[in-house]
Structure 1
């Protein structure tokens, strides 16, 4: 069910895209706004709220980090036009690919349907099966193997071929019982239509494991999966939280590990001490850097076994510390970071929490605590 998918999914670091929108040079007579059209790309494009993560992406896959504002007027982010069309990834065993029929009005989803039931309002599907208003929307979630950040990347396709080719691959991958080393690629399709040939890009998934091994539940690509702490940690069984914490780059990521371990019943005194120490280490100022303008989180802000944190030790201007509390409180409610960010933006006129002031974050935290109470 979709809600299970949302609860179990790691936080989204950004999106991997195979196209962009460009200005046609024309203006809509109805709205007075420029008319845009989609344009396919031959190499992957990355977008993310994090400049630092995209800097690592650019180093690995080419391109430069530059500011980007979504055409729908969403919060400003950053983008990188890479020079590659093939990415080494880790493919999750569950929910690597999801599909819905969706209808949007601007950036707001009006309908989300599985072909029988419209799940936004829990009612029967409203579309004519022969001529649907909704578009097929396929989402692919992967981890980039070599990017030093803990989370998944999302690729969205509204094409027919992605819709029919990717789900069977995901079903086969689910037999592995653990993350599988593979490759996310793109290939050009040429289709002959009544009005002439059409060319478009289609995302592809390839794996470093044989189909027979997948069906047996044995991941033979162990060498590829276990070449670093992060990959060992997610290769199956109980996660190696200490290894994941060692690879984490922010205190927020360590907080998410704490919440995940607590929810799974894995949080003991030894692990709690390890995670606290790693969080404190990440909050220390780098000795070689000049004065930082970013507020530092309090080294002792860590959720307890119930996911709660001590609000009294967070300073008034401690933005990161407040956000750390929000993540902990949200985890206790079963919410993911992506859900929290979306909810915050919805309640604050599209403002992303990474650019919010402390007072806005405090108000949001208070609301979460009220829901929990």
Structure 2
């Protein structure tokens, strides 16, 4: 612009832009609008309809819905034009899930393989804290900008601000969860656990729903803990505490039967209880177990009896387990688990509750967003004095 008007060093203007402006059509329209405003605003406009009158006395120039639309579009553009936050989120997701997926690459159906598959689901949740910590400074900068500039000038409402934060984060979290699903679910080879093609498709889709819901849950929890605090680190510390407690009492490290009765309520209220239960049962249930050679329990049957004759009653009563060679007479090799459902029952996970667990986990996401809006209103929105008229 400076070069065009001749103000930059070494540049020359080819015309007098002041004269161009004075003779322009735009200036004529500006003068006409100013004259119109001078006549109508000073004397009052008696033809103002009800909608104009309502708008003139409202706090903001547009409705909340239109404010949400504009602020959401602006925030999408901000993420796209300054993608450092998105780059770090997807780099962390890809690197971590590839590491977890190939650490447990093609876990088999042995007892140790089942333990590895359960541990991989457990490790899937460990990304909660680093992904959450990435969002906190991004949100804090946006909030500080809003509270210093847009709120004092009545540009848009705090409701539009907080709702746009929710709307913009959800698609990116779903995309991150989708990426995590593909680079984690297939390397671990959960798809091999489905006994039929119908279950293969259903379980794959449901695990994708769990993966995307988990990343959305991280975003909702991050917004909830960041909403009331001035410093992002305070929200991060609170989130770390809650996550540690939820993970400790989710039933993976200690089953509900072994928990002290006082702490059993934590098992029931922990969102990770329902996530791990649903994701693990979806990935592992309804398939066989084949013990590795070192996992068989060895025992010698009585003289003249086969292993089936010696242990057949036990296997019938136990309802699980199998013999490597039922007709052996020298040494019996017993695998104590014959199907994955028995293994899942030992860790309080049930395939029949998979959709229920997903629904409950979605409710936790909704609760987080509700609390985020409430806490922001409670702690950050200036309240009108009751004595004000």
Please confirm whether the aligned pair reaches a TM-score higher than 0.5, indicating the same fold: no
User: Which structure has more helix as a fraction of its residues?
Assistant: 2
* TM-score interval for Structure 1 and Structure 2 normalised by the shorter chain: under 0.3
User: Which structure has more strand as a fraction of its residues?
Assistant: 1
Relative contact order, higher structure (CA 8 A, sep 6+): 2
Give the TM-score of the pair, scaled to structure 2. 0.21
Larger Rg: 2
Give the TM-score of the pair, scaled to structure 1. 0.22
